Amino acid sequence: MVTSRRGSAPPKAAEAPGLRERNKQEKLERIREAARELFASKGFAETTTREIAERAGVGTGTLFLYARTKEELLMLVLAEKVEAVQEERFRTLPTRAPLLEQLLHVFEGFFRLYAKDPALARMFIREALFMEPGPAGERLQLERAFAARLAGLVAAARERGEVAGDVDLEMAGFNFFSLYLTTLMGWLSGALGPGDSWRPVLERSFALQLKGLGPGAGTSGGNRRRRS
C-alpha cells in the first residue's frame, strides 16, 4: 500500500474534494470576495482586473481562468445573491393572497437587492441580458426557469378562479417578467424620476395586464372613470 502521510481521508469517489478541486474552490471564493469588495467601494469601471487579482492573491492571468471577462466577474458577484433572493421570495410567498400581491412580493425582493447599489445592479442587468452564452447556454436557462415559476403563480391563481381558464400560462409568465424587467431598467436608469419609487409603477403596470384593455373587462381593478 502506498504511504499516505495524512491517512485520515482517503479519497472517495462520491465526495472526494481532492487537493486540486479544493484549491480551485478556494481561489474562486477569494476572487469573488475581492471583486465584491472592490466593485462596491470603487465602482465597476474604476476597478481594474489587476487590482482584483492582487487582492485575491492570484496572477493577473489566473483571473481569466475563472471568469472569461471582467463582466463575468460581476456576474460571479451578483448571480449568487439574485438566486438566493429568488428562493427566499418564493419560499415566503403569501400563498393565499391575490395574484397581484404575490407578484409584487416576489419582485420586491429583487428591487430591494438592486437598491443597495443601483449603478452596479445596472451593469449586472446589462450583462445578464446581453452576455454571450457560454459552452452551455446558461443565461437563457435562468430566465426561462424564472418565467416558468411566474407561470406557476398564474396557474395557481387560475385554480382559485382569479384568472380565466383559457389564458396561456407561459405567455402570462413572460408578460409579467417583461413588465418587471422594463420597469426595473427604467428605475435603474433614473427614468422614473430620481429617488422615485418603483412600486406604484409596477403595480399599475401589472394591474393593467390583469385587467386588460377591452371594454368588456371593467370592474376588476376597482375605480372606473366616466367616459368623456
Nearer to DNA among residue 2 and residue 213 (C-beta)? 2
Nearer to DNA among residue 26 and residue 101 (C-beta)? 26
Grid look-up 429568488 returns 86
Torsion sign over Cα 58, 63, 65, 66: positive
Check residue 181 for interaction with DNA (CB under 7 A). no
Q: Which of 195, 148, 190, 207 is nearest to 173 (CA)?
A: 148
- Are 123 and 74 in contact by the 8 Å Cβ rule? The answer is yes
171 contact, one of DNA, a copy of itself, none, CB 5-8 Å limit per kind: a copy of itself
Q: Interface with a copy of itself by CB under 8 A: which range of 11-19, 30-38, 51-59, 184-192?
A: 184-192
Site for DNA, residues 48 to 77, rule: CB under 7 A: 48-50, 58-62, 64-65, 68-71
Nearer to DNA among residue 68 and residue 116 (C-beta)? 68
Quick note: the x/- pattern for DNA over 198-217, rule CB under 7 A, is --------------------
Spell out the residues 6+ positions from residue 79 whose beta carbon is closer than 8 angstroms to its own.
Answer: 128
Q: Interface with a copy of itself by CB under 8 A: which range of 25-33, 46-54, 75-83, 183-191?
A: 183-191
Spell out the residues 6+ positions from residue 205 whose beta carbon is closer than 8 angstroms to its own.
Answer: 179, 183
Q: Interface with DNA by CB under 7 A: which range of 45-53, 98-106, 125-133, 189-197?
A: 45-53
Instruction: Give the nearest distance from C-beta 72 to DNA in angstroms.
Output: 8
Site for a copy of itself, residues 188 to 207, rule: CB under 8 A: 189, 191, 204-205
- Are 179 and 207 in contact by the 8 Å Cβ rule? The answer is no
Burial class (CB in 10 A: 0-12, 13-18, 19+), 194: exposed
Is residue 61 within a helix (H) or strand (E), and if so which, with residue range? helix 60-66
- Please report, as a single letter, which amino acid is at residue 130: F
Nearer to a copy of itself among residue 93 and residue 185 (C-beta)? 185
- Near a copy of itself by CB under 8 A: residue from 94, 126, 148, 153: 126
Cell numbers linked to 57: 492573491
Check residue 18 for interaction with DNA (CB under 7 A). yes
